[in-house]
Structure 1
Amino acid sequence: MKVALTDIPAEGKDLSFSDAAAEPQDLGPQVEVVVTAPSAQLRLERVGELVTAKGTYAAELVLACSRCLGPVPLSLEGELDWAFRPLGQEDREEVQLAEDELEVSFYEDGQVDLGQALRDELGLALPMAPLCREDCTGLCPVCGKPVKPGEPCCRRNEVDPRWAKLAQLKK
C-alpha cells in the first residue's frame, strides 16, 4: 500500500491496512502459507519531507520446520516505529550512513510504500530456524523419511566403505 505525502495532513493520520497481496515468497524462504494477511494499524505524521509511522502489526503464517519440513504455525504481533525520507540523487550512490540514519527508510515520487515496509518488518521478525517442536529429529539423510526419537535410522547400521578395511583389522 502506497500513501502519497499529500494525503497526510499536518495533524497526522490514522491508518489501518491489510497487505492481502503478500505472497509467501515475499516474506521469506521458510514461509509456506499466509493464513491471515499481514495487517498494520498506524499513526502517520509528516514534518516537512520526513514521514513517521508508529503502530502495531499482526500476521498468521505457516512456516516449514528447518529439520523435518513439517508445518510450523506462527502468529506474529509487534510494534512498529518507522521513519521515511525522500530518496535524493545523492542517495542513489554508495555512501557511508551515520548511525542515526540506519533506522530510516526511503521513498520516491512522493509516495511511501507501507506494504513493502510491513513485509520487510515481518521478514525480520521470522525465526532463523523454525522448529515444529524442540526435540524434532528431522529427516533421515538416506531415505528421506522422518526419524522418530529413540528409533534407529537406516543409516546408523551402514559402514562407510572407505573404512571397511579398518573394520577387518578389528576382527
Structure 2
Amino acid sequence: MSVFSGIKKTVEQKPYILAILVCILLTAWMLSGNSNAEEQMVRKNATSAEVEDTIPSVEVTTFTPSAVSRSIELYGRTEPKRTLDLSSELEGSVDKILAMEGDFVKQGQIILELNKDDRIEQLASAKALVIQRRIEYRGARSLSDKGLQGKSNLEQAYAALTEAKALVKSREVLLEKAQYARLFLVF
C-alpha cells in the first residue's frame, strides 16, 4: 500500500505526469487501430473484385409512344343551394322584372317594379287634404285665441291635420314601394 500512497502523493503534487501518461496510452491505442483499418481496406478491395464478377447482364427493351385517349362520362343533376319565395307588401301588377330566374341577386338589389296604378293621384289627394286641414286648423286657432270657439274644436282640427300628414306619409311609402321591390334575404 505504500507504493500506491507514494504514486498518489506524486500525482497530487505533479498532476501533469498523469496527463502525459493518459496521452501516451491514447496515442498507442489509436496507432494500434490504424493497422487494423488497412487490413479491412485490403479485404474490401478483394471482395469488390469478386462482386464485379457476379454482376448479372441487363436486357434493354425499346418502347414506342402511342396516344391514349381517356374520357369519363358523368351524369348528374344540379339543384340550387337555396330557394326563395318572394312576396310583395303591396297588391298590384308587375310592371318590370329586373332580375330573371337563375340570376345571382344580392341583398337590397332591386328585382322588380310594380305598376303605380293610381298611387300618384292618391298622394296628390292626400297632399291637398293636408293643405285643407292646415287652413282649418289655423282658422280654429284664430277663433280659439279670440275666445269665439272652444278648445275641443281646436283639438279636433289639430287631430285632423295630423291625420292628413300621416296619410301623406303612408301614400309616399306606398308609392316608393310600388316603384321598386328590393330583395331582403333572411336565412
**TM-score in same-fold range (> 0.5):** no
- TM-score of Structure 1 vs Structure 2, range by shorter chain: under 0.3
Q: TM-score, length-normalised on structure 2?
A: 0.17
Q: TM-score, length-normalised on structure 1?
A: 0.18
Q: Which structure dedicates a bigger proportion of its chain to strand?
A: 1
Q: Which structure dedicates a bigger proportion of its chain to helix?
A: 2
